[in-house]
Structure formats: structure tokens, C-alpha cells
């Protein structure tokens, strides 16, 4: 199992350390999972990148269903992937090709969707099964455009708390295994996102207990398909139960999205584990790649990584 540090092309490698090999050796890090963009990646990232996190979007389904939002062209890729099905497929296919020169072991894609007006609501108009089926249709279209109908590297699909892949039981996997028309795929289980789907979680200990119980309910084929894990915890139960709901009732979609950033970051905490029992989660899955996805909400990204990594001594 490789321990990876989450980083992005929007950051400078020199901000980590002038001696990256030395840093990784000291903190016992096997390399980076790199968040990429819609343009080719600077080759300087290549020696340190083991896996990639492909660009995510907010509401691709609106355009897939021919109801795109009115927004400036420069934002379309980031919030819808495109204005229609052809543009969406081209965007996703292009972002995969942009990451291909890194030869990643996998590329993470969020398998979900949220209607933008519902970003600050507790319940959503579309159920997860519907969204996940549409996601499979979309990613099948993307894959069909690659040579042999297979992406150039393994795609692993990440769960969120929004409609789509949630991983609260085995049913999401079984739907995907029926619907997907290509072979080179897997699942990236995000522990914090899974916690965000469960009401009343306000302590690290309770989060660990609940995730362990959910994993114990998975069928063997689900466990075998989880090749990656985004590892962190989110104990935001009180906030999720009490935040003020706000629905977008304005034409200023971009302004509403910007107003939601604090809400999303408060709900999805990305905190480093401090309880050694968190190893029970990893031991149940034994993923090939354990990505410590820690933006530094507690101290700094490196310090949070060192704290969490130390639990595996």
C-alpha cells in the first residue's frame, strides 16, 4: 500500500520543499495524488505523481439533459463540463488525455451531481440511483471515444454526499457493474464523504465506528473493487442538522456558487485522524493507494499528513 499526499497543479512544487525527495523520505510519503486541470500538466510534476484526481464539476447533468445554466464561457468547464452532451464528453475525454503523460496508476472522478440551486439544501430533487445511472451513461460515452473503448489509465469513481455514488451499502457498486461498458475502472472510497451521508456524527470515534460497520456490510466484490481510499474524517453532524437552508432564486448563478464555498468547507471537514483505531478502516479494505487528502484545516497540509501517517507506525 502506498501513502500519497494530495496536491494540485494550482500549487508550486517548491512550496512543499526545495528538496522533495528528502521531504518525502522524512515524512514517509510515496508521492503525490495530483489534482489536474483541463490543460497539459507541467512536466515537473511527473517524477512525483503516482495518481491523479481529475477535475470535478458541480452540475454536469443539467447540460446532459439539455438545460444548461447561463454563465460566462470561462466557467462552463468548471461547473458543467460543457453546454451539451458532446461538449461534456469532449471535456472529460480531454482532461483524461491531459493527465495521460503522467502515467498515473489511476484517475479519480467524482461520480455525483448536485443541482446548483440545491447546494445549500439538505434534500435533493434527484435520487442517487437516477444520478448514478446518468453518470454511467456519460462516462460510457467518454470511454467509447478512446482506442478500444478503454481509457488510457484506470478510472476510479469517488463517492460524495450529493446524489450519485454514496457507498452506504453495496447497491451502488452493483448498479455500476451492470451499467459500465468498459473494464478499466474501480472505486475510490472517500471516508469523510461517507461520514457526511450519516446524520448525527460529531466525534472522530463515532465516525470510525460507523464507517467500519458500513464496510462490514459490503460484499466481497465491492471490497475487491476499492483500489484507492481518500482518508480523512468529517464530524459535521451538528452543522448538517442546523445550517440555514438557502435556495438559489436568482439569475446570478455564479454569485450563488461563490456564496456556497464556506458552507461546503464547513460541512466537508477533511480533518486528520488522531485515533489509532482509524487503521481498522484501512485494514478492512487494504487499498493499493491510501491518499491522505488533507488541505490543512487543522494545522498545515504537511503537519496534518505527518499526524495521520504516524498512526500507521
Where b means 16+ CB within 10 Å and e means fewer, 190-208 reads bbbbbbbbbeebeebebbb
| pLDDT tens digits for range 137-149 | 999 999 999 999 9
User: Looking at residue 283, what is its pLDDT?
Assistant: 98
Q: pTM of the prediction?
A: 0.97
Q: How many other CB atoms sit within 10 Å of the CB of residue 181?
A: 12
| Domain residue limits at 47 | 2-312
User: Looking at residue 19, what is its pLDDT?
Assistant: 94
Alpha-carbon distances of 133 from 22, 110, 173, 251, 254, rounded to whole Å: 45, 14, 11, 29, 27
What's the number of domains the chain is made of? 1
C-alpha 148/C-alpha 86 separation (Å) is 19
| pLDDT tens digits for range 197-256 | 999 999 999 999 999 999 999 999 999 999 999 999 999 999 999 999 998 876 789 999
Q: How many other CB atoms sit within 10 Å of the CB of residue 11?
A: 13
CATH code of the domain in which 117 resides: 3.20.20.150
Cβ burial of 85 (10 Å; 0-12, 13-18, 19+) is middle
| pLDDT tens digits for range 110-134 | 999 999 999 999 999 999 999 999 9
C-alpha 270/C-alpha 195 separation (Å) is 11
Instruction: Name, in order, each residue with C-beta under 8 angstroms of 225's C-beta and a sequence gap of 6 or more.
Output: 173, 177, 186, 187
User: Looking at residue 102, what is its pLDDT?
Assistant: 98
| pLDDT tens digits for range 150-176 | 999 999 999 999 999 999 999 999 999
pLDDT confidence bin for 33, thresholds 50/70/90? very high
Please name which of 106, 104, 126, 105 lies closest in space to residue 115, comparing C-alpha atoms.
Answer: 126
- The percent of residues in the chain predicted with pLDDT above 90, rounded, is 96
User: Looking at residue 313, what is its pLDDT?
Assistant: 86
| pLDDT tens digits for range 263-304 | 999 999 999 999 999 999 999 999 999 999 999 987 899 999
Please name which of 217, 226, 133, 114 lies closest in space to residue 168, comparing C-alpha atoms.
Answer: 217
Three-class HEC string of 38-105: CCCCCHHHHHHEEEEECCCCCCHHHHHCCCCCCCCHHHHHHHCCCCCHHHHHHHHHHHHHHHHHHCCC
Instruction: Name, in order, each residue with C-beta under 8 angstroms of 18's C-beta and a sequence gap of 6 or more.
Output: none
C-alpha 247/C-alpha 29 separation (Å) is 42
Amino acid at each position: 500500500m502506498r501513502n500519497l499526499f494530495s496536491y494540485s497543479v494550482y500549487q508550486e512544487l517548491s512550496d512543499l520543499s526545495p528538496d522533495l525527495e528528502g521531504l518525502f523520505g522524512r515524512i514517509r510519503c510515496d508521492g503525490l495524488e495530483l489534482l489536474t486541470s483541463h490543460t497539459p500538466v507541467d512536466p515537473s510534476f511527473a517524477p512525483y505523481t503516482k495518481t491523479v484526481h481529475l477535475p470535478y464539476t458541480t452540475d454536469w447533468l443539467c447540460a446532459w439533459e439539455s438545460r444548461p445554466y447561463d454563465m460566462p464561457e470561462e466557467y462552463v468547464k468548471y461547473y458543467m463540463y460543457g453546454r451539451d452532451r458532446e461538449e461534456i464528453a469532449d471535456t472529460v475525454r480531454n482532461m483524461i488525455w491531459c493527465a495521460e503523460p503522467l502515467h498515473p496508476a489511476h484517475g479519480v472522478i467524482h461520480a455525483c451531481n448536485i443541482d446548483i440551486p440545491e447546494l445549500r439544501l439538505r434534500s435533493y430533487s434527484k435520487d442517487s440511483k437516477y444520478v448514478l445511472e446518468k453518470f454511467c451513461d456519460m462516462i460510457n460515452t467518454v470511454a467509447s471515444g478512446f482506442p478500444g473503448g478503454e481509457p488510457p489509465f484506470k478510472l476510479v469513481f469517488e463517492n460524495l454526499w450529493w446524489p450519485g455514488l454514496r457507498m452506504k451499502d453495496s447497491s451502488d457498486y452493483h448498479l455500476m457493474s451492470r451499467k459500465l461498458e468498459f473494464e478499466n475502472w474501480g472505486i475510490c472510497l472517500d471516508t469523510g464523504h461517507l461520514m457526511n451521508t450519516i446524520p448525527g456524527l460529531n466525534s472522530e470515534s463515532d465516525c470510525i465506528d460507523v464507517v467500519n460497520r458500513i464496510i462490514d456490510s459490503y460484499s466481497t466484490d465491492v471490497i475487491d473493487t476499492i483500489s484507492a481510499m481518500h482518508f480523512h474524517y468529517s464530524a459535521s453532524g451538528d452543522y448538517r442538522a442546523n445550517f440555514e437552508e438557502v435556495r438559489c432564486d436568482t439569475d446570478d448563478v455564479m454569485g450563488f456558487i461563490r456564496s456556497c464555498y464556506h458552507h461546503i468547507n464547513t460541512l466537508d471537514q477533511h480533518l486528520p485522524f488522531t485515533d489509532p483505531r482509524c487503521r481498522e478502516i484501512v485494514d478492512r479494505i487494504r487499498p493499493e493507494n491510501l491518499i491522505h487528502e488533507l488541505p490543512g484545516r487543522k494545522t498545515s497540509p504537511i503537519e496534518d499528513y505527518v499526524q495521520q501517517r504516524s498512526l500507521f507506525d
